Structure 1
Amino acid sequence: MIRAAHIADLGSQPLLRLEAYWLEKRGSRAMPSRADIDPADIKELLPQIIMARIEHDPLRVKYSIVGTACARSAGFDYTGRYLDELAFDSESDTDWQEIYREIVREKKPIGGTCRFRTADVEIPYRVAVFPLSNDGIRVDHTIAYEHLTLSLTEMDHVLPVKPAR
C-alpha cells in the first residue's frame, strides 16, 4: 500500500463519505464503537464495505461483513473467515496483517492506494480502514471501504482468494 497522509488525498468521494461518517460517530472519543455503526446510515457504501472483528492474544482478524462488490472482486464471500486463513493472491503490494497490527497499535485510520492483480493486469485501487472500539481504548473492530471497480473483462480474470496453505 502506498500510504496517503490524509483520506482526502485519495480523491475518492466514497472514502470521504465514510471518513465523515466515522468522525461523526466518533464525536469527542478516540474512536466510535461497533454499536455506533448503523449500515442503514451508509447503505450507498455497503457493496464495498468490509467490517472485521479484531481478536487479541494472538492478534487475529475475522471478517464479519464483506460487501457484495468486495466478495465479487475476491472471487468468493469470505465473511466469517480469518485473514490468516486466506491467501489474497490478487494483492501485489499490501501486507494486510501489518495494516491491522498498525491500526490496533496507532488507533487511527489508514488510507492509501493498493494494487489489485488479475491474471492479466494490475489495477490501482483506493482503500481506507477505520478503527472501532467498544471500550474507547482497545481496537476491537474495523470498518473499511475498497474503492475498486472492475470491468466485466477484468472480472473474468480475477485471481480468487483461497485458503492459505
Structure 2
Amino acid sequence: MARARELLDVVGDDELRRMLEYWLSIHPGRCLPSRRDFDPAAVPHLLGRMALTDVEYDPIRFRVRVMGTGLTAAFGRDLTGRYLHEAIPEFEASYTCAHRVEVAMTGLPGHCAEIPAVPFRIDFAASERLYLPFSSDGAGVDMMLTMTTFLADRATLSPFAGRSGPPPAVS
C-alpha cells in the first residue's frame, strides 16, 4: 500500500494518477483487490487505454483477457485471448515483460515511462504505463490491469528508461 501511495508522486499523467487513486480506493487494506472490486463504470473514460490480463504461473505468462480500443488502435491489432509472449516476438526480452513479472511476483503496483521495445502503429516517442495487480484470494496475483499513456516528449521519461534487463527495485 505504501508503494502505491509513493507512486502517486511519480506518475506523470493525470489520468494514470486517477486510475491509481481509484485502485487505492478499492484496495481492501492488507489484501489485494479482486477483479470484482473493480467497477469499469467508475472510470469509463479510461477504459480504452486499459488491458486486463490473466497471470499464469509455472511458467509465468500473461494472457490478454480484454484490450481497450485505444490500445488496439495503437497496436494495430486486438490481442484479446492471446498470450503476450506468443503474439509479440520481442515480449519476453522486453522491459514491459520484466515489469509485469515484478508486479506478479511482488503483488505491488508498478509504473514505468519508457520507449517501448514492442512495435506500435502510432507515432510517439515514449509511453507511460501503470500496472495494477488483482487477486481472487487476496494474496496471489492472478490478474493485472495495465493502463498506458502515449507521450510526445522523451523529456518526460523516467531516469531508467531505455535500459535493458529488469526494472530497478523500488522499496
The bucket for the TM-score relative to the shorter chain is 0.7 to 0.9
Compute the displacement of 1:26 (Å). Answer: 0.7
Deviations 1:85-122 (A, max 9, x none): 12266x8x943332222112111011010214668976
1:83–1:118 CA distance, 2 compared to 1 (3 A): closer
Correspondence for 1:144 among 143, 146, 149: 146
Unaligned segments of structure 1, at least 5 residues? 151-165
Aligned partner (choices 107, 129, 132) of residue 130 of structure 1 = 132
Letter in 2 for 1:125: S
Aligned to 1:87: 88
2:75–2:122 CA contact under 8 A, matched in 1:
no
- Give, in whole Å, the separation in 1 of the partners of 2:122 and 2:60: 34
Residues in 2 aligned to 1:36 and 1:119: alpha-carbon distance in whole angstroms: 33
Is 2:96 the partner of 1:105?
no
1:40 counterpart letter in structure 2: A
Higher relative contact order (CA 8 A, sep 6+): 1
In structure 1, C-alpha distance between the alignment counterparts of 2:121 and 2:145, rounded to whole Å:
28
Q: Report the AA paired with residue 87 of structure 1.
A: I
**Normalised TM-score (structure 1):** 0.77
Q: Which residue of 2 aligns with 1:155?
A: none
Root-mean-square deviation (Å): 2.5
Q: TM-score, normalised by structure 2?
A: 0.75
Could you report, residue by residue, the CA deviation over 1:54-96 in whole angstroms, capped at 9, with x for unpaired residues? 112221100111110101111101111101112266x8x9433
CA deviation after TM superposition for structure 1 residue 10, in Å: 2.7
One-letter identity of the residue aligned with 2:149: H
Distance 1:71 1:134, change over 3 A: same
What residue identity is the alignment partner of 1:141? M
Q: Which 5+ residue runs of structure 2 have no aligned equivalent?
A: 1-5, 153-171
Tell me, yes or no, if structure 1 residue 75 matches structure 2 residue 76. Answer: yes
Alpha-carbon distance in 2 for matches of 1:30, 1:111: 20
Q: 2: CA distance between counterparts of 1:59 and 1:73?
A: 26
Structure with the largest fraction of strand: 1
Is the CA contact (8 Å cut-off) linking 1:7 and 1:128 kept in structure 2? no
- How many residue pairs end up in the alignment? 144
Residues 94 and 114 in structure 1, CA contact (< 8 A), matched pair in contact too: no
